[in-house]
Structure 1
Amino acid sequence: MRFTRRGLIAATAALPFLPGGAARAQGGTLRFGLSSFPPSLLPWANTGTAAATVKLLIHRGLLSYAPDGTLRGEIAESWRNESPTVWVFTLRDNALFHNGEKVTAADVKWNIEQIAAERSTAHYRAEMQQVASIETPDARTLRITTKAPIATLPNWMASYHMMIVNPRSPTGAGVLPIGAGPFTIRAQERGTSIDLVAFDRYYKPGQPKLAGIRLIAYADENLRVSAIRAGDVDLIEYVPWQAMAAIEADDRLRLDATDGPFMYLNFNATRPHLGDARVRRAIGHAIKRDDIVKVAFFGRGSPLQGMPIAPGSEFFDEALSRGQAYDPDKAKSLLREAGLANGFSTTLLSTAQYGMHKDTAEVVQQHLAAVGIQAELRLPDWATRVNLGNRGQFDIAVMGTATDNNDADGLNTLIDGSLSPSYVRSAGLRIPKLEELMQAGRAEFDTAKRREIYLQAQRVALEEAPLVGLAWRSQGYAMKKEITGFKAMPGALNFFSGITLEDAALS
């Protein structure tokens, strides 16, 4: 059985009741303020943070991350590296889909094959095509052989883009695949809210602690803050930076924020001038990041002047972190070298739905104009912005995200042009040397050797500029002080924070 793309897309228009969910007698219902209504809940697609939060509630993958950022088992209770090209996963005996069927090794094999399929649009399609074979000696054992050594395969299996769904799910319009997470979807009002109830046969005893979660979309960030301060919701994501001080000063509320997400620019290399690395580098040197930190994030962040490798990471290098530093004279010189002494006109895609995206775009526009690049702003809603990015219908685009994990390999999805088109990376841009280095890094198990490979990859990335870093940002959640269990995940894993809702409680 195969899920048709038409059927899965249609599922975003009408989310149904799913079997197997039952509200618990205690625990209460938590009201969560989302920053947008998910453009899509396709289990293997990347459609933004709000969608990720929902997917982390209704689905589970083989692995995930503990609140401290370390890898932990989910559907797989353990895993081991049998050889450089063989990983073995042992599944839990009590993991069930929401219809009560056991999750088997054959089910996981089917999921990986669907993600890797020729016509798949899955975010991790290219990664799963590195799998040479999958064996299922019994219902609980999965043996994955890769085409080359992959030291980071457990991180891939922990991604919320690698959720395991029931191959025997009903298909058709308005039907989503059946998952194995702590909650099931009871009902929804398209564009407004999604109601979840606890799955009473979830494989972790005593979890979830909540009877249900009501997810309410507040596209306007000021309304989202008003809702938490008025008590209309219990927890919100994406606390606007201008509101963080007020949240901290409110005795009834708590702010949980961490650095890790960041802002950057993508390019469509098929558009005039943007296929020239000198032009992309010029853009990098034209932008004063301190202004973005001040205007868009009210000082709660720091300039990002290189590739998004966080300070403190073993792959961080101080000199390389300043490789795209503000230098308007150098920007003008690079434009002259590219034959664009008088600059050029282009468009800059962002969104008005998130103030940080709009404010960042306006600062970028001003600094580009100062070196002769006239950029017309385009500010659609978030869902439209995602669709335009996925279709490559932009010149330059402002983007905000986090790497897939805290390993340097997590940067790959943002800079590898061989991957399927996605709004998170540049369009029409292949850099073979960079692709080669990133592949070498994930194939190396020796930590010191991996560091040298990724330092070299950063040098190539600074020269070719597949992206231009703008600012690290503090990403925050606001909640009532009575809430326990929920935690903002560290660093690049901040967008995984929804997974901790399985342990959240209303005291």
Structure 2
Amino acid sequence: MKKLFLAKQATKLTAGQIDRRQFVMSALAAGVVLPSALSMADKAIAATPKKGGLLRQGMAHGATTDSLDPATYENSMMTGIGFAYGNCLTEVGPDGALRPELAESYESSDAKTWVFNLRQGVEFHNGKTLTADDVIASLNHHRGEDSKSAAKGLLAPIVSMKADGANRVVVELDGPNAGFPFIVSDYHLVIMPSVDGAVDAQAGVGTGGYVLDSFEAGVRSTFKRNPNYWKANSAHFDELEMLSLLDTTARQNAIMNGDVDVIDRVDPKTVALLARVPTLSILEAAGTLHYTMPMRVDAAPFDNYDLRMALKYSIKRQELVDKILLGHGQIGNDHPISTANQYHASDLAQREFNPEKAMEHYKKSGHSGTIQLSASDAAFAGAVDAAQLVAASAKEVGIDVEVVREPSDGYWSNVWNKKPWCTCYWGGRPTEDWMYSSAYTADTEWNDTAWRDTPDAKRFNEIVIAARAELDEGKRRSMYFETQQLIHNDGGAIVPMFANHIHALSKNLAHEEQIAGNWELDGNKNTERWWFA
């Protein structure tokens, strides 16, 4: 009872219903000693979001080829920009649970027909009021026959969309999909204002907490707070500045020198150093982030099953976790579903470094000569070192891997999803179907292993479709176990490790105790969730 009473008093204090003195007096009356009462009051006040200030963040992402068109977003800087100026129908909360955003609620009786009830009175930055037509036009932007959007595959199940009045959108799918409300929280699916059924995707106009002021692709973007933001108790900063700092040392120096207030992608090697800086805090979150080395199965020599298996068995995964992540993560098992996902296949045997099996498969492949692995720290901090470790362990087996150092700028447009073997990262997704639809199904542009046409790949695609409609949890779990097994055995993805999100931030920055792990920077929503203390 005492704990509940104090919690209620703390809520009153942060809401301004009582002042600090009244809180302390009530705590003393409840039997709390004075020093503890004062400390509790200070802690409650510090946790109260305050408005104001310029948030400067240095990000390990960005490219000169970036575009404001949400269909093209392919890195976390653009995700952060999109979430700063725009909203989706739904969003993933800090606890990993789905919650409504522009859709005030959503419902379905059969998981095939979904109705999204929109919030009323929401305004775009250009003054237009949000309607069902804007939602339909924004989603259709990714669905055209000639669309190259990474979200095209996610929306492929949609058969039709229609407005039921100004504030209801009815979406008909080609089959039941219990996870569809998660899909529409994807960062590509920012809702934009429409005119005559079309959107201006390059305008950077949305309903978000901040109004885009300037955009320099791969360099810098600035924002001002939206004074008419519909979401209560959010978007606390007056201004934002997002800087692309691809170089790990440059990001580290920027936060140490006070040139920025927060950086993402802290190199595990420098965590201890930054933690010793009196003005900084280290913020770490575990989740679905994983580092990969995708082999394109439509390109030699990776079109050879035995060659792929030889490489998978030639990797020392724990060594990568120990030396690249310095323990800030866990080993992977050549599939993208993490222990944070509901249907993680924990019973799937962990693949280990096995020289005998690696050599057996390598001999069966008939391959000889050098295999090139393209790497850049643009993929993840330590990616080049990780590639060198892979080359070293492969050499023990008798496989010659040559590490090709690629430029950071343009890596995502010139190397990833183009070169036959490269380093990569995936933020992961909250659901199995969403992860598969983003990177593994036959219809997605981001299938970076081009794993589409083998018998196992075809079987995988069949199961993914069937699992969407399966409402029996036991059967669904069995289906997702098989999908992970198929990728693990036949797929082109080498997934050696899952990494924690590591940030360094000024001690002047405050946030809720729990932060999201689905993306870095609190699910890339820190701009509306954090504040200056």
Q: TM-score, normalised by structure 1?
A: 0.88
Classify the secondary structure of the residue corresponding to 2:449: coil
Cα distance in 1 for partners of 2:232, 2:521 equals 25
**Residue in structure 2 matched with residue 32 of structure 1 by the alignment:** 57
Give the one of 316, 323, 329 matched to 1:295.
Answer: 323
CA contact (8 A) 1:67 1:500 kept: no
- Mapping of residues 101-250 of structure 1, within 5 Å: 101-168=128-195, 175-250=202-277
1:444 to 2:467 alignment? no
Query: What displacement does 1:88 show?
Result: 0.7
Query: What displacement does 1:482 show?
Result: 1.9
**Residue in structure 2 matched with residue 267 of structure 1 by the alignment:** 295
Residue deviations 1:102-146 (CA, integer Å, cap 9, x gap) = 111111111222211101111110221211111211111011110
Residue deviations 1:33-62 (CA, integer Å, cap 9, x gap) = 111334423212341122211111111110
Cα distance in 1 for partners of 2:342, 2:51 equals 45
Query: What displacement does 1:181 show?
Result: 1.2
Residue deviations 1:457-481 (CA, integer Å, cap 9, x gap) = 1222222123111111121111112
Residue deviations 1:79-104 (CA, integer Å, cap 9, x gap) = 11232311111001022211010111
Cα distance in 2 for partners of 1:184, 1:357 equals 35
1:475 to 2:501 alignment? yes
Q: CA 1:306–1:491 in structure 2 vs 1: closer, same or farther (change >3 Å)? A: farther
CA contact (8 A) 2:316 2:353 kept: yes
Classify the secondary structure of the residue corresponding to 2:400: strand
Classify the secondary structure of the residue corresponding to 2:386: helix
Give the one of 377, 381, 384 matched to 1:358.
Answer: 384
Q: What are structure 1's unaligned runs of at least 5 residues? A: 1-24
Cα distance in 1 for partners of 2:419, 2:354 equals 26
Give the one of 405, 417, 424 matched to 1:399.
Answer: 424
CA contact (8 A) 1:256 1:488 kept: no
Give the one of 498, 503, 507 matched to 2:529.
Answer: 503
Cα distance in 1 for partners of 2:69, 2:266 equals 26
CA contact (8 A) 2:151 2:438 kept: no
- Mapping of residues 308-387 of structure 1, within 5 Å: 308-311=336-339, 313-320=341-348, 322=350, 324-340=351-367, 343-353=368-378, 354-387=380-413
Report the residue type matching 1:330 in the other structure: K
Cα distance in 2 for partners of 1:47, 1:296 equals 24
Instruction: Work out which of the two has the higher radius of gyration on C-alpha atoms and give 1 or 2.
Output: 2
Query: What displacement does 1:204 show?
Result: 1.2
Q: Once structures 1 and 2 are overlaid, which stretch shifts more, 68-77 or 33-42?
A: 33-42
CA contact (8 A) 1:135 1:144 kept: yes
Query: What displacement does 1:184 show?
Result: 1.7
**Residue in structure 2 matched with residue 22 of structure 1 by the alignment:** none
- Mapping of residues 251-262 of structure 1, within 5 Å: 251-260=278-287, 261-262=289-290
Q: CA 1:363–1:46 in structure 2 vs 1: closer, same or farther (change >3 Å)? A: farther
Report the residue type matching 2:301 in the other structure: H
Classify the secondary structure of the residue corresponding to 2:109: strand
**Residue in structure 1 matched with residue 34 of structure 2 by the alignment:** none
Classify the secondary structure of the residue corresponding to 1:456: helix
CA contact (8 A) 1:36 1:217 kept: yes
CA contact (8 A) 1:96 1:201 kept: yes
Q: CA 1:186–1:487 in structure 2 vs 1: closer, same or farther (change >3 Å)? A: farther
Report the residue type matching 2:124 in the other structure: F
RMSD: 2.3
Q: CA 1:255–1:199 in structure 2 vs 1: closer, same or farther (change >3 Å)? A: same
Cα distance in 1 for partners of 2:234, 2:438 equals 34
Q: Once structures 1 and 2 are overlaid, which stretch shifts more, 467-476 or 425-434?
A: 425-434
Report the residue type matching 1:371 in the other structure: V
**Residue in structure 1 matched with residue 414 of structure 2 by the alignment:** 388
Q: What are structure 2's unaligned runs of at least 5 residues? A: 1-49
Q: CA 1:372–1:487 in structure 2 vs 1: closer, same or farther (change >3 Å)? A: farther
Q: Once structures 1 and 2 are overlaid, which stretch shifts more, 113-122 or 245-254?
A: 245-254
Classify the secondary structure of the residue corresponding to 2:485: helix
Cα distance in 2 for partners of 1:128, 1:389 equals 26
**Residue in structure 2 matched with residue 282 of structure 1 by the alignment:** 310
CA contact (8 A) 1:97 1:180 kept: yes
Q: Once structures 1 and 2 are overlaid, which stretch shifts more, 144-153 or 66-75?
A: 66-75
Residue deviations 1:61-89 (CA, integer Å, cap 9, x gap) = 10111111111111111111232311111
Q: CA 1:376–1:214 in structure 2 vs 1: closer, same or farther (change >3 Å)? A: same
1:55 to 2:79 alignment? no
Identity of aligned residues (%): 21
Q: CA 1:170–1:330 in structure 2 vs 1: closer, same or farther (change >3 Å)? A: closer
Cα distance in 2 for partners of 1:122, 1:398 equals 22
Q: CA 1:177–1:483 in structure 2 vs 1: closer, same or farther (change >3 Å)? A: closer
Query: What displacement does 1:305 show?
Result: 2.4
Classify the secondary structure of the residue corresponding to 1:83: coil
Report the residue type matching 1:269 in the other structure: V
Q: CA 1:171–1:438 in structure 2 vs 1: closer, same or farther (change >3 Å)? A: closer
Cα distance in 2 for partners of 1:414, 1:100 equals 33
Report the residue type matching 2:436 in the other structure: N
Classify the secondary structure of the residue corresponding to 1:127: coil
Q: CA 1:170–1:116 in structure 2 vs 1: closer, same or farther (change >3 Å)? A: closer
Classify the secondary structure of the residue corresponding to 2:422: strand
Classify the secondary structure of the residue corresponding to 1:470: strand
Query: What displacement does 1:367 show?
Result: 2.2
Q: CA 1:447–1:248 in structure 2 vs 1: closer, same or farther (change >3 Å)? A: farther
Query: What displacement does 1:428 show?
Result: 5.9
Query: What displacement does 1:189 show?
Result: 4.6
CA contact (8 A) 2:55 2:239 kept: yes
Q: How many residues align?
A: 475
Classify the secondary structure of the residue corresponding to 1:378: strand
Q: TM-score, normalised by structure 2?
A: 0.84
Query: What displacement does 1:179 show?
Result: 1.6
Query: What displacement does 1:188 show?
Result: 4.0
Q: CA 1:219–1:314 in structure 2 vs 1: closer, same or farther (change >3 Å)? A: closer
Q: Once structures 1 and 2 are overlaid, which stretch shifts more, 111-120 or 204-213?
A: 204-213
Give the one of 44, 67, 75 matched to 2:102.
Answer: 75
